[in-house]
Amino acid sequence: MQNLTRVSEFHLKGFSEDRDLQPLLLGLFLSMYLVSVLGNLLIILAVTSDPNLHTPMYFFLYSLSLDDLGFISTTVPKMIVDIKTHNAIISYAGCLTQMSVFVLFACMDNLLLTVMAYDRFVAICHPLHYQVIMNPRRCGFLVSVSFVASLLDGLVHSLMILQISCYKGVEISNFFCDPSQLLSLSCFATFSSDIGIYLVAVIYGFVPISGILFSYSKIVSSILRVPSPGGRYKAFSTCGSHLTVVCLFYGTSLGVYFSSTFSLSTTKCALASMVYTVVTPMLNPFIYSLRNSDIKKAMQSVFSKILKSPSFAMH
C-alpha cells in the first residue's frame, strides 16, 4: 500500500471532467451564485432599512441571510475558478481551511433554523409574553451561542482531520472538501475518531432536529385549538416559510449523508451536495420574500431608493 502520510494537495473530482460540459457548468454555477448573493443582499438591505422589520423574526432572517452568503461563498467561487482554469487541485491547508469554514456556516445554518423555530413557538404559543421572552438581549444571545457552537464544530472537525496520518488516496468525490469524504480517505478508522463523529452528529444533528420537531408539535397543537379557520390560517402562515426552508435544508443534507453512506457515484454525490450547498441558500430569499408582504414592501422601498439615487440617475 502506498504511504500517503505527507499529503500536500487533493484533487476535487467535481461533476465532470468533460471539456465540452465546462462552459455549461461555468455559466450555471456563476448564475446561481450571483442570484443567491443578490437575493440574500436584498433581504439584508430590506431588514436593515425598514424600521417595521426590526423584530426578532426578521433579525433571525437577517442572520440567516448573512450565513447563507458565507455558506455559498465558501465552495462555489473556488469551483468556478477550477472550471475556468481546468485545475481542480487544492492544497492540504486550503482544503482544511475550506472544510472548517464550510462546517462553521453549515452548522450555523442548522442552529439558526432551530432558533427561528423557537421564535415561532413563542410567538404562537405564548403571544402575550412574546416581547418579554424574545427581547433584543435574548435574541443576540441566541445568535451568539449559535455562532460559538458552530465555531466549536468546525474546530472539532479540523482536529479529527489533523489526526489522520495516512490517506488511501487524494481524490475527493465532490466539488469541495467535504468532511465525510476526507474522513473516508483515512487508511485507518480509529475508535476515538468514530466516537467523535457520532458525538458530533448527536449534538449538532439530533438535538437541533429534536428542538424543531418539539417546537412545531406545540405550534400545531396550539393552531388546532384556534376556533376560526381564518385564525388558523393566519397563525400557520407566519411559520410556513420557515417550515419550507427547514424541509429543504434537512431533506437535501440527509440526501448528502445517504449518498456518502451508500457510496454513490461521484456525479450523484456532487449533485446531492449542490442542492444542499448551492440551491438551498439561493432559494431561501425567494421563499421568505414571496410569502411575506412585509419583506415585499421593504424590498420595493429599497429598489425605489436605488432608482432615485443620484449615482443611478446619472447612468
CATH for 273: 1.20.1070.10
Residue 2 lies in a domain: no
* Band of pLDDT at residue 262, cut at 50, 70 and 90: low
The pLDDT of 33-60, averaged and rounded, is 91
pLDDT of residue 4: 46
Rounded to an integer, what is the distance from CA 223 to the centroid of its chain? Answer: 29
Residue 61 has pLDDT above 50, yes or no: yes
Residue 4 lies in a domain: no
Per-residue pLDDT reduced to its tens digit, 17-45: 777 788 888 899 999 999 999 999 989 99
Per-residue pLDDT reduced to its tens digit, 184-240: 787 776 556 667 677 777 788 788 889 999 999 998 888 888 777 776 777 677 777
pLDDT of residue 267: 64
**Structural contact between residues 65 and 123, judged by C-beta atoms closer than 8 angstroms:** no
* Half-sphere exposure in the Cβ direction for 22 (13 Å, CA): 15
How many Å apart are CA 193 and CA 218, to the nearest integer?
37
Q: Are strands 9-12 and 171-172 parallel, antiparallel or unpaired?
A: parallel
How many Å apart are CA 292 and CA 304, to the nearest integer?
19
The pLDDT of 248-273, averaged and rounded, is 66
The pLDDT of 110-139, averaged and rounded, is 92
* Band of pLDDT at residue 60, cut at 50, 70 and 90: very high
Q: Which of 22, 39, 21 is nearest to 278 (CA)?
A: 39
- Domain range for residue 98? 9-314
pLDDT of residue 192: 61
Residue 1 has pLDDT above 50, yes or no: no
What are the CA-CA distances from residue 315 to residues 138, 183, 306 (Å)?
A: 45, 52, 12
284 Cβ neighbours under 8 A, 6+ residues apart: 39, 40, 64, 65, 68, 245
* Band of pLDDT at residue 263, cut at 50, 70 and 90: low
Q: What is the pTM of this model?
A: 0.87
Alpha helices in 126-206 (DSSP H): 130-133, 136-162, 179-184, 191-201
Cβ atoms within 10 Å, residue 161: 20
Q: How many domains does the chain have?
A: 1
pLDDT of residue 3: 46
Average pLDDT over all residues of the chain? 83
pLDDT of residue 56: 93
Residue 186 has φ and ψ, to the nearest 5°, of: -65, 140
278, three cell numbers:
448551492
**Structural contact between residues 304 and 313, judged by C-beta atoms closer than 8 angstroms:** no
Residue 105 lies in a domain: yes
pLDDT of residue 268: 67
77 Cβ neighbours under 8 A, 6+ residues apart: 33
